[in-house]
Amino acid sequence: MTDEIEEEIEEPYVSVIPPETDQERAERQRAERRAALIDAGVAPREIRALDHPALVALPKASGGFGLYGPTGSGKTWAMVQTADTLMETYWWWHRSFLWLNWPEQANLIRRAPLNVGKLIAAAKDKMVLFLDDLGAETCKTADDYAFGILKEIVDFRYRHEKQIYWTSNQDAAALNEHYGAGFTSRLIGAWPEYAYKGPDRRIASV
């Protein structure tokens, strides 16, 4: 009699991952957009704008626009919400956003004028550029080096019809006095300004 030895064959272990629910997918995508916006230059404090509903209905200008209004009225938060909406709509652009707080950048440019090549290249190349707080920087003369960089970036994007979204505490007349008629005409002509009024929401802790 021949002993038959039955070999037990173990079936491979297969891990079954349940599909995402709609809510889980939305939360994951929301977190990915936040991370991408921080990578683009949005400060973590400003990302908090996404935890609040939009304060007002924002313009639908697809090529870009500007918001001007009093200090603390919520312009930057509104632009962060605009950036999030754009990124949700055009997710394949998520690595082609650049956010610049212009007064901060202007100071960096003046301190290290030889290290601006990468900044200029990125500001020209990205699909969507956000310029926050235009006009808040010190601009003493038309020959100011940082202003020259800003003009170069805006002129390039104007000629190549690329998007800019910008904010300022100053209206067209004040920007004209600050930057000059030529620059202001090009900026507002290509990316129109809209008034964004309201109380100082920082003080109101909104």
At 147 the pLDDT is: 93
* Residue 107 to residue 123: CA distance in whole angstroms: 16
At 114 the pLDDT is: 75
Q: What is the DSSP letter of 158?
A: H
Backbone angles phi, psi at 133, to 5 degrees: 70, 40
Each of the 206 residues of the chain gets a pLDDT tens digit; together they read 455 555 566 666 666 677 889 898 889 999 999 999 999 999 998 998 888 877 667 777 778 999 999 888 889 999 999 999 888 888 776 789 999 999 999 999 988 877 899 999 999 999 999 999 999 998 766 668 999 999 999 999 999 999 999 999 999 999 999 999 999 999 999 999 999 876 666 665 54
* Residue 19 to residue 28: CA distance in whole angstroms: 13
Q: Can you read off the two tokens belonging to residue 109? A: 């440019």
203 and 72 in contact (C-beta within 8 Å)? yes
Per-residue buried b or exposed e for 81-95, using 16+ beta carbons within 10 Å of the residue's own CB: bbbbebbeeeeeebe
Pairing of strands 97-101, 66-68: unpaired
Q: How far is CA 92 from CA 25, 86, 104, 131, 161, in A?
A: 17, 10, 28, 21, 19
SS3 3: coil
Q: Which domains does the chain have, with CATH numbers?
A: 29-43+70-195 (3.40.50.300)
Q: Can you read off the two tokens belonging to residue 141? A: 């003369």
* Verdict on whether the full-model pTM lies above 0.85: no
> Of 113, 93, 101, whose CA–CA distance to 41 is shortest?
101
How many other CB atoms are found less than 10 A from the CB of residue 37? 24
